Structure formats: C-alpha cells, structure tokens
Amino acid sequence: MSDPVSWFVIEPGWEVVDREGNPVGTVDETIGDSTDDIFNGLAVTSGVLGKARYVPAEQVAEITEGRVRLKLGGAGVESLGEYEEPPTTAEILPEQAGLLERAEGATIDRVRGHEQDVPLLRRAWIWLRGALRRR
C-alpha cells in the first residue's frame, strides 16, 4: 500500500476508485486554491466522452500516488452532479484605456473562449496515455 500524498500532487489522469476499490473514472481537474491550501474537490470523468462529475473534498477518503479513493460507493458516485467550470475572469479596462490595451484584452478573451474546446482533447490524450501505460 502506498503512503498518502497531498492534494497538490494530484494530476489529470489519476485513477479514481469508490470506497470498495472499484474504478469509477479518472481525475480531470483538481479544484482548489493552492495559495491558501484550500482543496475544494475534483472533477472526475468516466471515459473519453463522459461528462465530468464534481466530487467535493469531503468525499475524498485517501490520496496516494496515482490514485484517489472516495468515501462513496458506486451508486453514490453516479448520483454526483455534473462539474461546471467556474466562469473565466475578465479584466475590465477603464474607458481611457489605449488601443493597444484593448487589443491585448480582446486577444486574451479570444484565447479564453477556446478553453471549452481543450478539455475533450485533453481527456482523449489522458485516456490514451493511461491505456498505453496499462499495457
């Protein structure tokens, strides 16, 4: 059995199991504030096209290298709500902002707008990487 580790080291793709040790998915995202050491929970997906479910930190029983064990059984995991990403923050520029500042703001917003396309590709890559490691 591995030693417990901090939530800071959790990475996307780690296995997530229910309280009996049955696989229920993989870590998609860790939610928290690392600056203040506040762990809020995890976004867990089951499969490449599966929707992420939100697992509150209170439902995490143990974190070991490469694996997160939950306090919930399989039925409890299935009843968890869908994870909704928090809205992206936007910088509000003053009216007297120059043309260059406004152009930079528009570029940043455009990049942030594409974030919705990335998770599916990231999940596919994580799934593929995990499948190759299990061989």
Q: Tell me: the pLDDT tens digits for 97-120? A: 665 555 555 544 433 333 344 456
CATH architecture of the domain formed by 7-133: Roll (2.30)
Helical H segments across 15-117, by residue range: 74-78, 99-113
Exposed, middle or buried by CB within 10 Å (0-12, 13-18, 19+), for 117?
Answer: exposed
Are 70 and 62 spatial neighbours (Cβ–Cβ below 8 Å)? no
Task: Please give the pLDDT value at position 26.
Answer: 92
- Dihedral (Cα; 63, 65, 26, 77), 10-degree rounding: -20
Task: Please say whether the dihedral angle defined by the alpha carbons of residues 57, 62, 65 and 68, taken in this order, is positive or negative.
Answer: negative
Pick the residue with more confidence: 48 or 113? 48
Query: Which whole number is the average pLDDT over 13-39?
Result: 92
